[in-house]
Amino acid sequence: MGIWREVELEAHQDARLEAVYFRTEILEPDWAQVAVTVDVERLKAGAPPPRLLVTLARFTRSSETRSIYSGGISMSGTRATIRLRIDEPALWWTHDLGEPALYDLVVYLENEHGARVDRYQTRVGVRTVALDQSPDTDEPGTRFFRVVLNGVPVFAKGANWIPAHSFVGAVDEARYRLMLERARDANMNMLRVWGGGLYEKPDFYRLCDELGLLIWQDFMFACAAYPEDDAFAAEVEAEARSVVRRLRNHPSVALWCGNNENQWIDDQRYWSQYPERVAPGARYYHETLPRVVAEMDPSRPYWPGSPYGGNDFNSMEDGDRHNWCVWHGQADSRRFGEKPERDFSPEGVSFVRYANDMGRFISEFGMHAAPVRETLRRNVPADGLAYNSPQMHHRNKDEPKNKGDNLMRSCTGLPADLDEYIDFSMIAQAEGLKFAVEHFRRRKPHCSGALIWQLNDCWPGLSWSLVDYYGFGKAGYFYARRFFAPVLASFRAEPDGGVSLWVVNDTLEAFEDQAKVRLATFDGATLLEEVVRVRVGANRAAQVYRLSASQLAPATPEATYLSVTSAAGKFPANRHFFVAIKDLKRPQPTLDVSITQVRTGDYRVTVGTDVYAFFVKIETPYELTEFQDNYLDLEPGARRTVRVYNTAQPLTEADIKVACR
């Protein structure tokens, strides 16, 4: 409540810069045309028209000027547009596709005497963005839903962003940087700013520009019915204009979205009583907001809601989709006029149901997991640190409280104590997200986005987040680093009992490698080993190998696994289990751990194992600790060295703990 952002007082006599809008109008292989539209408020009646001067500069890391573009114009009215041609432009890309190149834009306003009376400065990117919704001829009756950046279709890999603190004014640049760098380091290229949160502070958008993270920006309408009287509608439009004006120069902002789940929830609630009902608030999503965006920011696409599209607001054939079949037990799909169904049984919330999702762009999906024990220790009284205690339930704001139990029942089995609950809930979340994202990415280009609910937390609790309130990464976060890698190798169980190997190449160059596929027992016996030559074109997914059911027949499903590794280290190692985690028959590993200090706060942790080691975790009590890798598997006889470092907190060798499940 009250004033919680920066405030300044300005005084102007002659004229002032009211608004500046930068956009890329033409993008060719070796040149670009950009436009700068400026709105000026003229304060002195009868004064000669002011003059605008626009400069656009690109600097190298040494801060030396690389190139400068400038243009000037004398204004006859209150709006003017200056167009500049840039030869060999440095384009803004997501960090995984190139450099998020930025230019410094400065606009000066001069009076009739040549004195500069106002100045606007920001950083901008030369790039184009579009939303491709053309028919998908490979899957008749469906349409693509994919973001196209600089002419390149992008598979959006990322998560939903919620406010980083319950007291939103308390978030500073350091907290934004910590969480956003966590996203980048997990190979994410898009964050969805959820409509139940807020329009974040300028630092958030500036950092996304610098880090090469696209933003799906919801307008702040979520999970509710909104009044449509004229007085409220005027407030909505005023707010929308202010927000679009403030954010439209950020190259990271890729799409404006009208709301979160409002049409979808309304239809599920009133589907039988009022079949022709229009959700209260639709006036904004279909009239006000698209009109404001078309007028003030025509360079970006607008989408009415999330989810939205097709013969159900949560369609698999068109638009974006929220998958809450897993965790919330919803039906895989429905049509308008059909009764919404729920199944809260272990089978109904199991993550294997993700395999049924043929959606175009999955903008929400996720599962709960506990944070690390250190986060719980800081917030839960000692006498409440127990599985299913009232104090632990207080940290869970979902209902009913046992949803996670049903998820664990089908994956790990139920835990016996708090430590098992922390690990089992993390395993269920991480394995479920891995299963989902691998499925969605293999469907490229028919599926073009996977945004996990959610990246971060506003409060220390049990939630869907990958990174907890303090910044500790859960197991799912470190899994995400691997399943969001630019090149992903993954296995798919086939209906006939065979298993196929797929490689997804999100890079803009053709991919070649040799992959070693191994069928082995958990105690170390190799049943089959083959080296596969892999070739996958740029920005494509392809099946590269297949094991038939007969080849797998000698294996005992609960005692064996499949693995794939890259000969050149070009993709993360991956594995496939034939049964649920709880049904695996694995010998207990003996870990051989050594820790070497390289410098203060910087260590090399080497872990070896005699048999298959699952869920090898390295823990410290400090949230700013960085891990080269974590929550990983080691094959029999393997040794792995992981860098663990923390230059901001007093990390010692005694703080580093290594264990497995």
Q: What is the CATH number of the domain that holds 105?
A: 2.60.40.10
Q: What pTM, to 2 d.p., does this model score?
A: 0.96
- Residues 111, 136: one domain? no
Residue at 4 is within a domain: no
Residues of the chain with pLDDT under 70: 60-67
- Residues 479, 602: one domain? no
Q: Say if CB 256 and CB 288 are below 8 A apart.
A: no
Give Cα separations from 319 to 121, 134, 143, 419 (angstroms). Answer: 37, 11, 8, 41
In single-letter form, the type of residue at position 558 comes to E
Dmax (CA) of the chain: 92
- Residues 439, 533: one domain? no
388: its two tokens: 């299913």
What CATH code is carried by the domain that includes residue 331?
3.20.20.80
pLDDT at 293: 98
Residue at 1 is within a domain: no
- Residues 323, 271: one domain? yes
- Residues 558, 428: one domain? no
Q: Show the beta-strand stretches assigned E in 366-494.
A: 449-452, 487-493
Domain limits for position 596: 591-659
User: For residue 445, is the peptide bond before it cis, meaning its omega torsion is within 30 degrees of 0?
Assistant: yes
Total Cβ atoms within 10 A of residue 347: 13
| Structural domains in the chain (count) | 4
- Residues 299, 398: one domain? yes
pLDDT at 67: 66
pLDDT at 238: 98
Give Cα separations from 473 to 131, 207, 380, 461 (angstroms). Answer: 32, 20, 19, 13
- Residues 479, 492: one domain? no
From 469, 484, 499, give the residue that closes a domain.
484
- Residues 537, 612: one domain? no
From 441, 456, 484, give the residue that closes a domain.
484
- Residues 609, 494: one domain? no
pLDDT at 75: 82
pLDDT at 63: 47
Residue at 522 is within a domain: yes
User: For residue 495, is the peptide bond before it cis, meaning its omega torsion is within 30 degrees of 0?
Assistant: no
DSSP at 199: -
Residue at 7 is within a domain: no
Give CA–CA dist 276/64, Å, rounded: 62
Contacting residues for 450 by C-beta, under 8 A, at least 6 apart = 155, 156, 157, 158, 362, 365, 436, 437, 440, 441
- Residues 461, 544: one domain? no
Query: Mind giving me the DSSP string for 256-267?
Result: EE--BSHHHHHH
- Residues 421, 497: one domain? no
Residue at 632 is within a domain: yes
Give Cα separations from 508 to 215, 240, 361, 443, 505 (angstroms). Answer: 21, 36, 21, 18, 8
Give CA–CA dist 264/279, Å, rounded: 9
From 438, 453, 484, give the residue that closes a domain.
484
Quote the Cα angle for 29-488-364, to 5°. Answer: 85
